[in-house]
Amino acid sequence: MTTILRGRNIGVTFGKFQAVRDVDLDIETGHVHSIIGPNGAGKTTLFNVLSGRQRLTAGRIAIDETDVTAQPEHLRSRIGMARSFQINSLFWTFSVLENMRLAVQARDYRIARSVLRSDADRSEEVSVATSLCVSIGLGDQLHAVVDHLSHGQQRRLEIGLALASKPRLLLLDEPTSGMGVDDLPAMASLIRSLKRDGYTVVLVEHNMNLVMNLSDRITVMHQGRVLAGGSPAEISSDGRVREAYLGKGLDRA
């Protein structure tokens, strides 16, 4: 096992309020590692700290052995980290393939900087973008306008756009939020295929079914701290975890 991301003593305060405190986190290469916890536990704050969007007020973060604590999001993406795009960053009136081409262009400096792109560059860009669309299960929707996709398809496209930067470590914040049950299996199988393809995935997710089925490791947060960490089996039988969810039962938290 190699550790791709290591967080130590991570703390975030907003004014006097401590949203995250003393969090240690080890993400192993190739794992799907989920971060769960009741509302207000600090999951999104921690997620933003890992991606570099939110400054931490204590602690440090390393990717591989490189300390990235002070690095903003765009620098972390150069060493292989990407977060899924937010749904409001999609171009609604463009097709799936056009959105993907823009993401590929944005990440491929050689192509993006040249107004005089050659036909070979263009066709390579289209072929890279097409295969990315296929990998997220939208191969039969290449020319569909994004606005006409189902919510679940749009959420998969967000993940696909992140893949255009060729990350090794992918951060997904609530990929199933707002999604109908019909779209859940496709998202589950996308995350499974990401793992199969060798990506390391950090997943913040409410849907316990999905978390328990897909995760190699789970970190449970509660009131800004790590309450428990372990395999899905260990977490689902942990009394403190059940208590933190106020007896809701983990499968419906």
Q: How far is the CB of 14 from ligand ADP (least distance, A)?
A: 3
Q: How far is the CB of 222 from ligand ADP (least distance, A)?
A: 9
Binding status of residue 223 toward ligand ADP by CB under 6 A: no
Binding status of residue 138 toward ligand ADP by CB under 6 A: no
Q: How far is the CB of 72 from ligand ADP (least distance, A)?
A: 17
Contacting residue, 43, 107, 155, 222, with ligand ADP by CB under 6 A: 43
Burial degree of 201 (CB within 10 A; 0-12, 13-18, 19+): buried
Binding status of residue 223 toward Mg ion by CB under 5 A: no
Q: How far is the CB of 109 from Mg ion (least distance, A)?
A: 33
Q: What distance, in Å, lies between the first and last C-alpha atoms of the chain?
A: 31
> Which partner, ligand ADP, Mg ion, none, binds residue 40 by CB below 5 to 8 Å per kind?
ligand ADP
Give backbone dihedrals phi and psi of 203, rounded to 5 degrees, phi first.
-125, 120
Burial degree of 22 (CB within 10 A; 0-12, 13-18, 19+): middle
| Residue of 231, 194, 196, 227 lying closest to 211 (CA atoms) | 231
Residue nearer to Mg ion on the CB measure, 43 or 101: 43
Q: Which residue has the tokens 């589950």?
A: 188
Characterize the bridge pairing of strands 58-63 and 3-14: antiparallel
Binding residues for Mg ion, rule CB under 5 A, total 2
Contacting residue, 3, 13, 29, 44, with ligand ADP by CB under 6 A: 44
Rounded Cα distance between 177 and 152, Å, is: 9
Binding status of residue 44 toward Mg ion by CB under 5 A: yes
Q: Which residue has the tokens 């996709």?
A: 149
Binding status of residue 42 toward ligand ADP by CB under 6 A: yes
> Which partner, ligand ADP, Mg ion, none, binds residue 42 by CB below 5 to 8 Å per kind?
ligand ADP
Contacting residue, 23, 41, 50, 190, with ligand ADP by CB under 6 A: 41
Q: How far is the CB of 186 from Mg ion (least distance, A)?
A: 23
Residue 116: both structure tokens together: 């005089």
Rounded Cα distance between 140 and 142, Å, is: 6
Instruction: State the Cα angle at 71 between 28 and 204, rounded to 5°.
Output: 45
Contacting residue, 34, 45, 153, 207, with ligand ADP by CB under 6 A: 45
Near Mg ion by CB under 5 A, which window of 37-45, 59-67, 95-103, 123-131?
37-45
Which residues bind to Mg ion, rule: CB under 5 A? 43-44
